[in-house]
Structure 1
Amino acid sequence: MALPAELAARSAILRICTRCRTSPLLGSQSIRANGFLPSRQQQQQRSLHQPRIANSPRSVKTSVPRRLSSGVAQPSFSPGGVAAANRAGTAKKPVLQPDDLFHSFTNSPIPEIRRRAAYIRQHGSCPHPDHQPGTGGQPPAHVDFECPDCGIPVYCSKEHWADDYEAHLEICDTLRQINEDDHDLRTGRYFPEFEYAGPQMEEALVNMTNWDTFLYTRNFQAINHDRSMRQATRLLTFPVTVASVLHELSPYSYKSDGRITIEGLKSFSALRYTLHPPKSGGGTDIKGLRPEAPPVRLFILGARAESSLPRDVWIQLAHLFPLSRFHLIFIGPESMANRDDEFPLPPRTPSNRFGAVVEDRVWPSMKISTIVDYYHNIHKTGEFYPYDPYFDCFVLFHPGLGHPSSSHEWEETIPMLLETKAPVIVTGYTQADMDRDVEWVNRTSAGEFDILMEPGENTFRSLRWDLNDLDPQDISAGNWGVWAFRGKRYETTRKSP
């Protein structure tokens, strides 16, 4: 029997797609969780943290919706639920065994993967030089032949595959890994890697040197297989990437070999001052009340998949900064896409001018708002004014700033981000994708911004590779690279006579 924890976390990886505006998967239906019946104590604990949706026309389950490219939202993810169900013997019997994960996409025992193969054949183009303009003389052709080594349609014919075999070998092993990882998510096995760690012990410091030290010092369950590590990091890369830049124990530093610039040291030190406050001596009674700082606002612009991740994934931010409060604000025209259980959207009213979906009890120190609109439209109204570099930060996950199909959507937004003087953290899929974004910002806003963090590979990138169904030769990793910038601050200087 499928479990809520498995469905929420596994399915979030299963069809997560942030690379394109449209889904490469067609015609899927919402999967409803038929989870085990929790104990009375578990029900009481769960009700304490049930999110409250502001201005919603009907009851909504939004504690941990997941982002699917084809439009599915799942119910809440309860930590420990998978383990409890596994001990009770209610876990679903695996469809495939761990040593039987490799199958060609076309002949896969999983119907969804067979549909994906059909989509790739319909849209993917053969990369053989004969089909390149001005070289081969042959018209473009769709892929139709599956490589027997990776099981993915990659060429239009066996002849072109054999003729271009040396070039294909460069990515063949990675494509096979993608093949097996996709089948692994659909086996129905027990997924201990989707059970996330709870609050951090005050006496234990987090080591953010790499994924291994992070998971160990955060007291995650031991992950002993590379495939399980890839599945776990595919979701955790979003909050941990942000935390790795803002945390006082960040792996990025201002040194001769570091990537943080002097301007970055100024901006990130301001945020770290807020995120790591000193002990106030406060208590739970009236005499122990102390003034509290406002929550740190993380504006996640152009939100797509990240807006619908299981909420236990984003709660990891609260665990890493236990003395601070967060307000995550997902903004973008696709920020509520594929969250079926939450439609229709709340109406726009004087008290909720942009029809925001507010999840008020995700965690005692975290609130999440989702707004389906472009940021520049919101900025013009002054909805979130004033902006404070001590409390505000913008995050752009794979924004495609320099991509021809999406750069026009950012032309009006970037100047407004520079006006706020708040740091902007940006990630990219590949080195080329990140360099293209940096070059676009340099070209459109030259002299108006400061680099806070030099572009480079992200220590906490997703270890799992993703396949672009529109181009089987295009493989990438979520949040592969990270860099940061902000609007330039002009300071008055005295000129000697």
Structure 2
Amino acid sequence: MEPSLRRTASSLCGNCTASLRRQFLARNVGRSWMPAALHLHHHVRALHATTPSQSKRASPTLGSGKAVRDFTSSAKLEAGAGAAAKQTEQAPLRLSEDDLFHPFSSSPVPEFRRRAAFMKQHAYCPHPDHQHTKVPTIAPKPEDAAATGGSLAPAHVDFECPDCGMPVYCSKDHWMDDYENHLKICDTLRQINEDDHDLRSGRVFKEANLPGQQMEEAMVNMTNWDTLMYTRDFDAVDSDRGMRQITRLLTYPITVGSILHELSPYSIKQGERLTVEGLKSFSGEALRYNLHPGKSGRGAGVNQLRPEPPPVRIFVLGARAESSLPRATWLQLAYLFPESKFHLILIGPESMANRDDEFPLPERTPSNPFGAIVEDRISHRMKISTIVDYYHTIHQTGHFAPYDPYFDCFVLFHPGLGHPASSHEWEETLPQLLETKVPIISTGYTQFDLERDVEWVKQKSKGEFDVLLEPGENTFRSLRWDLNDMDPQDISCGNWGVWAFRGKRYVLHLMGSMLGISRIANP
């Protein structure tokens, strides 16, 4: 939008601003990147997998590289969106709104037929008569904790449930015999089936037209998804399926913003999970102080200029699918804090997964020792850097030191801290994170996944950490459910739970420090 129009928009009400914004968006820009970005959904577990064979598995559907590149390139934004819109307009509508349910093996979309074949080759029948083949992904019942399964050998799934359309059991007999257990997830599996087909239906994703900068007079309400989208002036989403699709993308930036914002739904009130140490870190003394600077004394005149604080650095460690999000999605985080600037740093060996077609990795030079890809023209208030390396190797060099609790924050999206296959990758990193005394926000796929991570941190840190946000369900979790193709019983959603912690701080008493005593015991 041109500067004159932007100034005009700042004096309009929310509805007029939305109308003006839509005039300057590509007519069907939602088509160009929404389905491509959401194609990550059923391979999220592959991107977030903890075994090398899963994390490096090629996916024929993850073609989001070009869409993301066109969307994030400031020079080619309009041309890329226009070309994508024209190309999509020529594509026929393959599936109507009332024709979204199809069994995977007989789906009109070839991709789902390939998925069904993949599941039948790798997923095992969950009937209790079969021997167990994997570590449980949900909390086992006490009576089943030591059980190893039945006497039958493991068998791959082959029979598709007619109600959900997923291959879930090795035979019809086992499906009928265990039907009571299958009913617990059957409706959710059917919802996943329809949502997946919706992405390939060819419809216009109007919910992908995201709002721009927030007016200063408009207050954001972060009670839940509905109040947030209303006060942020999102286009109305008139279906539950549309809400599930858009929240699958927005859960990453909004989860971070909901914890750091001064109007956060997490407070120190009883039952709202924020601890006293969390109040100190997020509100009283650190991040929120700089994310919501006072406006007194500032103005347009030369004598009213005030120095601006440096950007708030958000380190996303173990970045995978979130690094492929359209940059307009990440900008929603910056719009929640109109007076602050952000530097989003995506770090991890898989941070460029499925983005190989965008651009080659730069060479490592003295000025760019880790070959970082820097996207600094996304917005004047946000810069994104991507580093394909392990964080603990970067930390040892002091590249980002010193760390400041007033301007830094670590975020771990589904890190698998306590997962048996990935916990070893975090053993060296965890002490380094606690050493910085910077807040660490961590999420989990399920309640079991989150509790397992919390327990692992307690065991490895030996109590040298303070909980800032008690573990629990995330207010801004994805409303869309995801399926693990390796195990149809493993159902999860993006950022289901969230908690926060940091390294313990020991405040020495003045007299104790003068006497060289670290702690003063009460008599």
Looking at structure 1, the residues matched to 77 and 288 of structure 2 have their Cα atoms a distance apart, in angstroms, of 30
Q: Report 1:62-77 matches (<5 A).
A: 63-64=71-72
Q: Secondary structure at the match of 1:340?
A: coil
Looking at structure 1, the residues matched to 219 and 416 of structure 2 have their Cα atoms a distance apart, in angstroms, of 35
Counterpart in the other structure of 1:480: 496
Counterpart in the other structure of 1:162: 176
Looking at structure 2, the residues matched to 32 and 430 of structure 1 have their Cα atoms a distance apart, in angstroms, of 28
Looking at structure 2, the residues matched to 294 and 5 of structure 1 have their Cα atoms a distance apart, in angstroms, of 33
Q: Secondary structure at the match of 2:126?
A: coil
Looking at structure 2, the residues matched to 172 and 454 of structure 1 have their Cα atoms a distance apart, in angstroms, of 31
Q: Secondary structure at the match of 1:341?
A: coil
Say if 1:323 and 1:112 are closer, same or farther in 2 by CA, change over 3 A.
same
Q: Is the 8 A contact 1:402 1:437 kept in 2?
A: yes
Q: Is the 8 A contact 1:453 1:485 kept in 2?
A: yes
Counterpart in the other structure of 1:470: 486
Say if 1:438 and 1:89 are closer, same or farther in 2 by CA, change over 3 A.
closer
Q: 2:179 is matched by which residue type in structure 1? A: Y
Looking at structure 2, the residues matched to 248 and 62 of structure 1 have their Cα atoms a distance apart, in angstroms, of 34
Counterpart in the other structure of 1:53: none
* Cα displacement (A) at 1:22: 2.3
Counterpart in the other structure of 2:293: 277
Looking at structure 2, the residues matched to 457 and 152 of structure 1 have their Cα atoms a distance apart, in angstroms, of 28
TM-score scaled by length of structure 2: 0.83
Counterpart in the other structure of 1:347: 363
The C-alpha deviation readout for 1:228-280, integer Å capped at 9, x for no partner, is: 00001000000000011000000000012220110010000110000001126
Q: Is the 8 A contact 2:28 2:206 kept in 1?
A: no
* Cα displacement (A) at 1:81: 5.8
Say if 1:32 and 1:450 are closer, same or farther in 2 by CA, change over 3 A.
closer
Which of 339, 360, 367 is the aligned partner of 1:323?
Answer: 339
* Cα displacement (A) at 1:12: 1.2
Q: Is the 8 A contact 1:24 1:116 kept in 2?
A: no
Counterpart in the other structure of 1:98: 97
Q: Is the 8 A contact 2:65 2:356 kept in 1?
A: no
Q: Secondary structure at the match of 1:130?
A: coil
* Cα displacement (A) at 1:19: 3.4
Say if 1:76 and 1:99 are closer, same or farther in 2 by CA, change over 3 A.
farther
* Cα displacement (A) at 1:152: 0.4
Equivalent residue pairs, number: 461
Which of 48, 51, 59 is the aligned partner of 1:19?
Answer: 48
Q: Is the 8 A contact 2:472 2:499 kept in 1?
A: yes
Looking at structure 1, the residues matched to 76 and 468 of structure 2 have their Cα atoms a distance apart, in angstroms, of 37
Counterpart in the other structure of 2:238: 224
Counterpart in the other structure of 2:465: 449
Say if 1:62 and 1:443 are closer, same or farther in 2 by CA, change over 3 A.
farther
378-387 vs 14-23, which moves further: 14-23
* Cα displacement (A) at 1:136: 2.5
* Cα displacement (A) at 1:481: 0.2
Give % identity.
Answer: 66
Which of 178, 181, 184 is the aligned partner of 2:195?
Answer: 181
Looking at structure 1, the residues matched to 57 and 231 of structure 2 have their Cα atoms a distance apart, in angstroms, of 37
Looking at structure 2, the residues matched to 472 and 219 of structure 1 have their Cα atoms a distance apart, in angstroms, of 37
Q: Report 1:391-410 matches (<5 A).
A: 391-410=407-426
* Cα displacement (A) at 1:478: 0.5
Q: Secondary structure at the match of 1:162?
A: helix
* Cα displacement (A) at 1:281: 5.2
Counterpart in the other structure of 1:37: none
Say if 1:393 and 1:91 are closer, same or farther in 2 by CA, change over 3 A.
farther
Say if 1:395 and 1:135 are closer, same or farther in 2 by CA, change over 3 A.
closer
* Cα displacement (A) at 1:429: 0.5
Asked if residue 112 in structure 1 is aligned to residue 145 in structure 2, the reply is: no
Looking at structure 2, the residues matched to 29 and 178 of structure 1 have their Cα atoms a distance apart, in angstroms, of 18
Counterpart in the other structure of 2:277: 263
Asked if residue 127 in structure 1 is aligned to residue 126 in structure 2, the reply is: yes
Counterpart in the other structure of 1:148: 162
* Cα displacement (A) at 1:343: 3.5
Looking at structure 2, the residues matched to 229 and 393 of structure 1 have their Cα atoms a distance apart, in angstroms, of 29
Counterpart in the other structure of 1:56: none
Looking at structure 1, the residues matched to 112 and 162 of structure 2 have their Cα atoms a distance apart, in angstroms, of 16
Looking at structure 1, the residues matched to 420 and 202 of structure 2 have their Cα atoms a distance apart, in angstroms, of 40
* Cα displacement (A) at 1:5: 3.8
Q: Is the 8 A contact 1:91 1:190 kept in 2?
A: no
Counterpart in the other structure of 2:445: 429
Q: Secondary structure at the match of 2:488?
A: coil
Q: Secondary structure at the match of 2:89?
A: coil
Q: Secondary structure at the match of 2:266?
A: coil
Q: Is the 8 A contact 2:66 2:357 kept in 1?
A: no
Q: Report 1:365-380 matches (<5 A).
A: 365-380=381-396
The C-alpha deviation readout for 1:373-423, integer Å capped at 9, x for no partner, is: 000000000001110000000000000000011000000001000000000
Which of 226, 249, 255 is the aligned partner of 1:241?
Answer: 255
Say if 1:210 and 1:201 are closer, same or farther in 2 by CA, change over 3 A.
same
Q: Is the 8 A contact 1:146 1:152 kept in 2?
A: yes
* Cα displacement (A) at 1:27: 3.6
Say if 1:32 and 1:346 are closer, same or farther in 2 by CA, change over 3 A.
closer
Q: Is the 8 A contact 1:24 1:119 kept in 2?
A: no
Counterpart in the other structure of 1:41: none
Q: Secondary structure at the match of 2:487?
A: coil
Say if 1:255 and 1:341 are closer, same or farther in 2 by CA, change over 3 A.
same
Q: Is the 8 A contact 1:95 1:188 kept in 2?
A: yes
253-262 vs 327-336, which moves further: 253-262
Q: Secondary structure at the match of 1:168?
A: helix
Runs (5+) with no aligned partner, structure 1:
35-59, 66-74
- Where is the helix percentage greater, Structure 1 or Structure 2? 2
* Cα displacement (A) at 1:462: 0.2
* Cα displacement (A) at 1:132: 2.5
Q: Is the 8 A contact 1:298 1:326 kept in 2?
A: yes
The C-alpha deviation readout for 1:440-487, integer Å capped at 9, x for no partner, is: 000010221000000000000000000011100010110000000000
* Cα displacement (A) at 1:491: 1.1
* Cα displacement (A) at 1:25: 6.3
Looking at structure 2, the residues matched to 374 and 234 of structure 1 have their Cα atoms a distance apart, in angstroms, of 26
Say if 1:29 and 1:210 are closer, same or farther in 2 by CA, change over 3 A.
closer
The C-alpha deviation readout for 1:307-355, integer Å capped at 9, x for no partner, is: 1100000000111001000000000000011112333200000000000
Q: Secondary structure at the match of 1:422?
A: coil
Q: Is the 8 A contact 1:62 1:359 kept in 2?
A: no
Say if 1:4 and 1:216 are closer, same or farther in 2 by CA, change over 3 A.
closer
Which of 275, 285, 305 is the aligned partner of 2:321?
Answer: 305
205-214 vs 25-34, which moves further: 25-34
Looking at structure 1, the residues matched to 313 and 487 of structure 2 have their Cα atoms a distance apart, in angstroms, of 37
Q: Is the 8 A contact 1:428 1:480 kept in 2?
A: yes
Say if 1:467 and 1:5 are closer, same or farther in 2 by CA, change over 3 A.
same
